[in-house]
Chains A and B, each alone.
Chain A
Amino acid sequence: MEKENKPQKKPNSFEIFLEEIQHSSWIVTFLAIMTGIILGGLLAAITSLEMYAAFKVSFWDGIKTGLQVAWSTYSALFTGSVGDFGKIKIALAGGDALEIRRAFFPFFESLVQSTPYIFGGLAVAVGFRAGLFNIGVEGQIFIGALTGTWAGYAITGLPAIIHVPLALLCGFLGGALWGFIPGLLKAKTGASEVINTIMMNYIAFRFSEYMLRGPMKDPTEYTPKTPVIADTAKLYHFFQDPIRFHLGFFIALAVAAFIYWLLFKTTWGFELRTVGANSNAARYAGMSNIMVTILAMALSGGLAGLAGANEVLGVNFRLVPAFSSGYGFDSIALALLGKNHPVGVVLSALLFGFLRSGARQMQLKAGIPIDIISILQALILAFIAAPAIIRTIYRLKESKIKEEEFTLSGWGG
């Protein structure tokens, strides 16, 4: 314990403001993101050969080139995710519809990328709120995509107004089943959901490999792919090609609002949060921990399933192997960044979506592999999870309010 013996002095209003803001953990969140971005830039610089070449000329050349590399990385990231203002201006002046759409493409593409993140982040957040660590979002996304796709191509002859919700529901149910199993095992036998959801991930990967090579394979294709879903199952696209912005984004926002209402405005949400905060007290208070645990895991899995179904119904229209590429794991970081609150989740999902979409462009333009985003996310997650690191770096004071903690025990049998 540190001994604090500071001379007492009357603080002025600015100091009070500083004090307040230092205590708020939002500043930690912001600094965590900034620090992550700075370190990411550093990484881009030190892995660029131009910089070393420039260092041979002189030290300052090296520094300058390093900064240039970092700058070009992030400007590529920015134009890749938001758009190039110059191009937008020219396109608007030109008035050609296709050109305008191309100019706005990056921005909308980022929203498209954010959509599965919103679902995935909500999935992890719901789990955390119930005291459950759902590492199985990735697998649940796969299964949700699988069942959603199946409903998309196997059921035909329905109007879109029924077919789309039905396919989404199938996606939800598929993911929910994948969450339900570890939830049931946790509730009934106490088996750690951490390990079980990891195991369920790999089972999901093997299972979808099997389905894609076997029962769900499009017979007209040589490679393992499912058939293309019916037009009536496709989520509405607001614009013509190449913009893929679709109805799913607004569905995701609506689901986030629904989850907010469910968690904080209903008795069931109260039960879920109580079980998460102190399961013994929940039992004492007459709540059914078993039901809450099972339903929370099923809901969490279902939300992840929606992420998968949404991708197929809104973007890909068919399922191919290895389609998710890490949404599930990113969702863990994202949910924690958003403090497991639906609003926070939506904001961090937007951040991650823009990063990811921008990184694709960055990879094409600046030759920086897209995986730099994972590094960035890991760094941000580390800083969020260990706010003391950020506090040490920026000499912030210890928060008076205790950071929200998740009590997750070991997984011993």
Chain B
Amino acid sequence: MENNHSNNIVEKYLGKTRRIVMGAIFLAIALLVYFVFAKGNSADSLTTFNMTPGGSSSSYPDWVFPTNSYLSFLAGVCLILGAYQLVRGFGKLTNAFLALIAVIFIFSFLSWAASGGSMNLAGLLRITIIRAVPLTLGGLSGILCERAGIINIAIEGMMLTAAFVSTVVASLSNLWVGMLSGILAGALMGWILGVLSIKYKVNQVIAGTVINIFATGLTSFLSQKFIQKTDYQFLNEPGMFPQIEVPVLSKIPFIGPILFNHNIYIFLTIFLVIILSIALFHTRWGLRMRSVGEHPKAADTLGINVIKTRYISVILGGMMAGFAGTYFTLGSSGRFDELLTAGRGFIGLAAMIFGNYNPVGTIGASILFGFFDALAVRASILNVPVPSEFLGMTPYLVTMIVLAGLVGKGHAPAAEGTPYEKESL
């Protein structure tokens, strides 16, 4: 009763602003789609999307449609949604419709870019999935740590270390041992983050920075000293996990080659997202771990060992980042180069925030970011008047917009970043 009352008041003062801002955004996109994307082409131009990724064995006919009329229709949809949002509002569904509008916007953008020519939509989406893998795994690493109350800004450093270790070990033994060694290297880095931030109560952002600088320095040092030199090339030839064509599923037209023809990392990533979602929200371990991240003192009074729980989480987080690191060498490039992670750890962190500290949300955010990443690479090939560097900025900009609360605020673990002091006056 009382809550309802106050909610109405809130609606009165705040919901209205948000409703109108969102409505305005929807309408602005409608106008953009209509005047720039639809009218920006000659009336009879056609858009062709290739529906089979390059190099795929199966094939599926191209999708050809008149750009102008399709996009005008989509602009109309945006217009109607925007008008409804302005007048009545979608309430709790606002974000869902925002996502829909975003998809329309992206689709319109692609249609416009490909109008008068053709674009390999299937290839783009397939690359999107691939690009999302390290981001998702990085985000999962973040979730494991932050849900237990430890800020992990060191995902990047953990990835780099694991990438290096796995390369050398895999070169000397085999891929699986290499992968395992990378995971263990990640665990070690996670443990170091734990020691600094749990035992020594170092500010967690600084602790993460230490690990990042250290990992960058160490891997570059060893790389220059050894594996980049011709004498030691044998240490930088780990090989790569082969593509797996999932029987039957990979033959599904359009979707099959996009989703079911990848190396093991893509499948393991999806598997890990599912496992972690269940573990976090439906097991004893998950409940305890989240309690430690929300209210460590409450957990302590119920006999949960806060310190141990945090160590386990941060080591698991390190292992996850380590696994992500091995992807760069064993799953993507087949060799180690300095700084080959190129900031993916930080985007993973951003994906975690965008995904509201939730594995499923994180993979969603990663796919979005991965899409822009894939698009940036192709923008130069396409005839898009937006420089590829600007497309490359999108994940960062989106993260900043999310953080500013424009898309609604999520819930960060309440005790994030605070060391646990058992005895204090």
* Interface core residue of A194, A199, A374, A389 (most chain B CB under 10 Å): A199
Q: Please determine whether A195 and B224 come into contact, CB atoms closer than 8 angstroms.
A: no
Tell me the bound Cα distance from A298 to B334 in angstroms: 43
9 contacts between A and B (CB under 8 A): A47-B221, A191-B400, A199-B346, A199-B397, A199-B400, A202-B343, A329-B209, A382-B196, A412-B410
Q: Please determine whether B413 and A410 come into contact, CB atoms closer than 8 angstroms.
A: yes
Min Cβ gap B47→A in Å is 27
Tell me the bound Cα distance from A90 to B153 in angstroms: 51
Size category of the A interface is 35 or more
Could you say which residues of chain B place their CB within 8 Å of the CB of A210? 387, 389-390
Tell me the bound Cα distance from A191 to B207 in angstroms: 21
Binds B, one of A109-117, A242-250, A275-283, A365-373: A365-373
The residue in chain B whose Cβ has the minimal distance to the Cβ of A329 is B213
Q: Please determine whether A206 and B217 come into contact, CB atoms closer than 8 angstroms.
A: no
Could you say which residues of chain B place their CB within 8 Å of the CB of A185? 400, 403-404
Tell me whether A292 is interfacial, beta carbon within 8 Å: no
Q: Please determine whether B209 and A135 come into contact, CB atoms closer than 8 angstroms.
A: yes
Q: Please determine whether B222 and A47 come into contact, CB atoms closer than 8 angstroms.
A: yes
Q: Which 9 A-B pairs have the closest CB atoms?
A: A412-B412, A374-B217, A410-B416, A378-B214, A386-B200, A191-B403, A369-B224, A210-B389, A199-B396
The residue in chain B whose Cβ has the minimal distance to the Cβ of A332 is B209
Q: If the complex has contacts A194-B153, A371-B224, A372-B217, are A385 and B403 also in contact, measured as CB distance less than 8 A?
A: no
Q: Please determine whether A195 and B417 come into contact, CB atoms closer than 8 angstroms.
A: no
**How many pairs of A and B residues are in contact by the CB < 8 Å rule?**
164
**Chain B residues within CB distance 8 Å of chain A:** 146, 151, 153, 196, 200, 202-203, 205-207, 209-214, 216-218, 220-222, 224-226, 343, 346, 349-350, 353, 356, 387, 389-390, 392-393, 396-397, 399-400, 402-405, 409-413, 416-418, 423
Could you say which residues of chain A place their CB within 8 Å of the CB of B349? 195, 198
Could you say which residues of chain A place their CB within 8 Å of the CB of B214? 374-375, 378-379, 382
The residue in chain A whose Cβ has the minimal distance to the Cβ of B354 is A413
Could you say which residues of chain B place their CB within 8 Å of the CB of A333? 209-210, 213
Tell me whether A336 is interfacial, beta carbon within 8 Å: yes
Q: If the complex has contacts A329-B212, A329-B213, A409-B417, are A206 and B202 also in contact, measured as CB distance less than 8 A?
A: no
Q: Please determine whether A194 and B213 come into contact, CB atoms closer than 8 angstroms.
A: no
From the candidates B196, B209, B216, B389, name the one contacting A386 in the complex (CB within 8 A): B196
From the candidates B202, B218, B389, B412, name the one contacting A385 in the complex (CB within 8 A): B202
Tell me the bound Cα distance from A367 to B226 in angstroms: 11
Tell me whether A189 is interfacial, beta carbon within 8 Å: yes
Q: Please determine whether A385 and B217 come into contact, CB atoms closer than 8 angstroms.
A: no
Q: Please determine whether A195 and B350 come into contact, CB atoms closer than 8 angstroms.
A: yes
Tell me whether A393 is interfacial, beta carbon within 8 Å: no
Q: Please determine whether A375 and B218 come into contact, CB atoms closer than 8 angstroms.
A: yes
The residue in chain A whose Cβ has the minimal distance to the Cβ of B410 is A413
**Chain A residues within CB distance 8 Å of chain B:** 1, 43, 47, 133, 135, 185, 188-192, 194-196, 198-200, 202-203, 206-207, 209-210, 213-214, 326, 329-330, 332-333, 336, 367-369, 371-379, 381-382, 385-386, 388-389, 405-406, 408-413
The residue in chain B whose Cβ has the minimal distance to the Cβ of A369 is B224
The residue in chain A whose Cβ has the minimal distance to the Cβ of B213 is A378
Q: Please determine whether A207 and B202 come into contact, CB atoms closer than 8 angstroms.
A: no
The residue in chain A whose Cβ has the minimal distance to the Cβ of B387 is A210
Tell me the bound Cα distance from A256 to B409 in angstroms: 39
Tell me the bound Cα distance from A369 to B346 in angstroms: 26
Tell me the bound Cα distance from A326 to B387 in angstroms: 26
Could you say which residues of chain B place their CB within 8 Å of the CB of A369? 220-221, 224-225
Q: Please determine whether A385 and B221 come into contact, CB atoms closer than 8 angstroms.
A: no
Q: If the complex has contacts A385-B210, A412-B411, are A189 and B405 also in contact, measured as CB distance less than 8 A?
A: yes
Tell me the bound Cα distance from A1 to B422 in angstroms: 10
Q: Please determine whether A374 and B220 come into contact, CB atoms closer than 8 angstroms.
A: yes
Q: Please determine whether B399 and A412 come into contact, CB atoms closer than 8 angstroms.
A: no
Could you say which residues of chain A place their CB within 8 Å of the CB of B416? 409-412
From the candidates A199, A200, A367, A378, name the one contacting B217 in the complex (CB within 8 A): A378
Q: Please determine whether B210 and A411 come into contact, CB atoms closer than 8 angstroms.
A: no
Could you say which residues of chain A place their CB within 8 Å of the CB of B399? 195, 199
Q: If the complex has contacts A378-B213, A412-B410, A413-B409, are A371 and B220 also in contact, measured as CB distance less than 8 A?
A: yes
Min Cβ gap A198→B in Å is 5
Q: If the complex has contacts A133-B205, A386-B196, A410-B417, are A371 and B217 also in contact, measured as CB distance less than 8 A?
A: yes
Tell me the bound Cα distance from A375 to B349 in angstroms: 24
Q: Please determine whether B209 and A381 come into contact, CB atoms closer than 8 angstroms.
A: yes
Q: Please determine whether B206 and A381 come into contact, CB atoms closer than 8 angstroms.
A: yes
Q: Please determine whether B403 and A411 come into contact, CB atoms closer than 8 angstroms.
A: yes
From the candidates A191, A368, A406, A410, name the one contacting B405 in the complex (CB within 8 A): A191
* Interface core residue of A210, A371, A413 (most chain B CB under 10 Å): A413
Min Cβ gap B326→A in Å is 22
Could you say which residues of chain A place their CB within 8 Å of the CB of B412? 410-413
Min Cβ gap B201→A in Å is 8
Could you say which residues of chain B place their CB within 8 Å of the CB of A385? 196, 200, 202-203, 206-207, 210
Q: Please determine whether A381 and B353 come into contact, CB atoms closer than 8 angstroms.
A: no
Min Cβ gap B240→A in Å is 26
Could you say which residues of chain A place their CB within 8 Å of the CB of B196? 382, 385-386
Could you say which residues of chain B place their CB within 8 Å of the CB of A189? 403-405
Could you say which residues of chain B place their CB within 8 Å of the CB of A200? 396, 400
Min Cβ gap B351→A in Å is 12
Could you say which residues of chain B place their CB within 8 Å of the CB of A326? 216
Tell me the bound Cα distance from A70 to B85 in angstroms: 69
From the candidates B153, B216, B400, B413, name the one contacting A412 in the complex (CB within 8 A): B413
Min Cβ gap B424→A in Å is 10
Q: Please determine whether B216 and A371 come into contact, CB atoms closer than 8 angstroms.
A: yes
Q: Please determine whether A375 and B397 come into contact, CB atoms closer than 8 angstroms.
A: no
Tell me the bound Cα distance from A375 to B212 in angstroms: 10
Tell me the bound Cα distance from A153 to B259 in angstroms: 51
Min Cβ gap B340→A in Å is 15
Could you say which residues of chain B place their CB within 8 Å of the CB of A199? 346, 350, 396-397, 399-400
Tell me the bound Cα distance from A408 to B222 in angstroms: 34
Tell me the bound Cα distance from A372 to B389 in angstroms: 32
Tell me the bound Cα distance from A326 to B214 in angstroms: 12
Could you say which residues of chain B place their CB within 8 Å of the CB of A190? 405
Could you say which residues of chain A place their CB within 8 Å of the CB of B418? 409
Could you say which residues of chain B place their CB within 8 Å of the CB of A412? 353, 410-413, 416
Could you say which residues of chain B place their CB within 8 Å of the CB of A375? 214, 217-218, 221
Q: Please determine whether A209 and B202 come into contact, CB atoms closer than 8 angstroms.
A: no
Tell me the bound Cα distance from A202 to B200 in angstroms: 31
* Interface core residue of B196, B203, B217, B346 (most chain A CB under 10 Å): B217
Q: Please determine whether B213 and A377 come into contact, CB atoms closer than 8 angstroms.
A: yes
Could you say which residues of chain B place their CB within 8 Å of the CB of A373? 217
* Interface core residue of A194, A329, A409, A410 (most chain B CB under 10 Å): A410
Q: Please determine whether B213 and A207 come into contact, CB atoms closer than 8 angstroms.
A: no
Tell me the bound Cα distance from A135 to B413 in angstroms: 22
Could you say which residues of chain A place their CB within 8 Å of the CB of B417? 408-410
Q: Please determine whether A381 and B403 come into contact, CB atoms closer than 8 angstroms.
A: no
